[in-house]
């Protein structure tokens, strides 16, 4: 039986290697996906942070009603006040400008006479598009807070009262996270999702090709005419699909780590994901990949054309993605929940990335859950994979 399985395995691998499109899809694309996942989010985060720190200009109607202290504090916060004449509310509402401030005529006088003063902030969050010129309301709030503190301090000094009376307690904040933990904060969400998606998609087209594809081409009948048994053919094909899935999983996660390591320190802030986390993720992904390969083949067996199989397998990809995302937002409340395929593996990979505490036996349970599900799936697949059902059922 072993020789028959090896022959089928070798035959399917040779067919896959000869098909350049399938080979490129199975090898190059997963590597590119891993690089893109690793680089996209840090680069986008760095872009948004740089944009948030970039000096901004805000139109001010009635700027003559301000005082020097307000303008000075705004300048220190990176806010440049630009005088504006005309319909400021209309300019902001139309999207021509993203924000504007209206200072009332009595603004400065009310501050000097120790009365409550206020200003009007007009914003349009749609101005400039998704990554356009959105105004930083938080920065203006900080500027106003600093201005209020400065005015309060001046009032207390006039009364010969120590301004520190307004701040009886100060906060000394310290971030004790390590570089590995900071790198894992992003990876804790992206890495489990990447592992699950690649484990599902890495062998999808090969699983379809060796089942529904051979049905459609009419080559399956010739294979069934060989001395190999139904079980040997099924296990041989599954072995080929698993082999062609394991390689993309390793390539994708290797690309994820390499791309993350090559990003400049200005983007990563010195945080780097340890290679051991990626290596462990690969090992955890293999039992999951075997289970998903079995699921893909079982579904593909029941279809008659390549196109039908593609349509039938799309819900599988959706379910896998949903389970991986669920693990990121709702960690398993009980260790036995790590036995759930996809969900348990994704939760373990996320915990490894964060380098945080993990429930006892979580790794063992996640591997055991995928292995047990794979065994059950193989038994079902062997029952379904017989000549009568394969050739004549729809």
Condensed to tens digits (0 to 9), the pLDDT of residues 137-171 reads 777 778 888 888 888 888 888 888 877 776 666 66
pLDDT in tens, 21-48: 655 655 566 666 666 665 555 655 555 5
Q: Please identify which residue in the block is written with the tokens 């969900």.
A: 343
Looking at the chain, which residues constitute the CATH 3.40.190 domain(s)? Answer: 53-166
Under a CB-based contact definition with an 8 Å cutoff, are residues 60 and 83 in contact? yes
Q: Is the pLDDT of residue 219 over 60?
A: yes
pLDDT of 291: 92
- Which carries the bigger pLDDT value, residue 179 or residue 197? 197
Q: What is the pTM of this model?
A: 0.64
Under a CB-based contact definition with an 8 Å cutoff, are residues 237 and 211 in contact? yes
pLDDT of 131: 46
CA distance to 45, 78, 126, per residue, from 131 (Å) = 12, 19, 10
Query: N- to C-terminal Cα distance for the chain?
Result: 29
Class of domain 53-166 as given by CATH:
alpha beta
**Could you say which DSSP state residue 342 is in?**
T
Q: Is the pLDDT of residue 392 over 80?
A: no
- Which carries the bigger pLDDT value, residue 126 or residue 139? 139
pLDDT in tens, 52-70: 567 777 888 888 888 888 8
What are the b/e assignments for 60-93, b being 16+ CB within 10 Å? bbbbebbeeebbebbeebebebeebeeebeebbe
Write out the two tokens for 12: 């399917």
Axis crossing angle, helix 362-384 with helix 343-354, rounded to the nearest 10: 150
pLDDT of 130: 44
- Which carries the bigger pLDDT value, residue 238 or residue 202? 238
pLDDT of 104: 83
């Amino acid at each position: 039986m072993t020789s028959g399985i090896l022959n089928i395995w070798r035959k399917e691998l040779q067919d896959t290697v000869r098909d350049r499109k399938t080979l490129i899809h199975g090898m190059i694309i997963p590597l590119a996906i891993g690089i893109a996942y690793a680089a996209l989010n840090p680069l986008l985060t760095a872009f948004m942070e740089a944009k948030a720190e970039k000096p901004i200009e805000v139109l001010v109607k009635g700027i003559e009603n301000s005082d020097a202290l307000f303008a000075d504090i705004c300048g220190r916060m990176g806010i440049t006040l630009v005088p504006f004449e005309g319909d400021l509310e209309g300019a902001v509402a139309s999207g021509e400008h993203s924000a504007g401030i209206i200072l009332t005529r009595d603004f400065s006088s009310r501050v000097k006479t120790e009365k409550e003063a206020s200003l009007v902030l007009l914003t349009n969050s749609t101005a400039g598009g998704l990554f356009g010129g959105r105004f930083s309301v938080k920065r203006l709030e900080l500027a106003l807070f600093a201005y209020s503190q400065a005015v309060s301090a001046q009032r207390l000094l006039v009364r010969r009262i120590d301004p520190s009376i307004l701040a009886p307690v100060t906060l000394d904040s310290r971030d004790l996270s390590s570089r590995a933990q900071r790198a894992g904060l992003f990876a804790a969400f992206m890495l489990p999702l990447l592992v699950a998606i690649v484990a599902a998609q890495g062998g999808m087209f090969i699983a379809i090709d060796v089942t529904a594809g051979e049905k459609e081409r009419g080559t399956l009948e010739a294979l069934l005419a060989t001395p190999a048994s139904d079980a040997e053919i099924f296990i041989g094909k599954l072995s080929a699909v698993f082999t062609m899935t394991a390689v993309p999983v390793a390539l994708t996660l290797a690309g994820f780590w390499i791309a993350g390591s090559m990003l400049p320190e200005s983007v990563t802030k010195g945080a780097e994901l340890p290679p051991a986390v990626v290596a462990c993720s690969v090992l955890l992904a293999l039992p999951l990949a075997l289970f998903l390969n079995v699921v893909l083949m079982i579904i593909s067996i029941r279809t008659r054309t390549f196109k039908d199989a593609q349509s039938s397998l799309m819900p599988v990809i959706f379910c896998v993605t949903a389970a991986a995302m669920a693990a990121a937002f709702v960690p398993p409340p009980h260790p036995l929940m790590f036995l759930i395929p996809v969900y348990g593996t994704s939760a373990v990979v996320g915990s490894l990335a964060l380098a945080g505490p993990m429930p006892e036996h979580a790794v063992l349970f996640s591997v055991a859950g995928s292995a047990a599900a794979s065994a059950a799936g193989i038994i079902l697949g062997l029952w379904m994979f017989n000549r009568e059902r394969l050739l004549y059922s729809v």
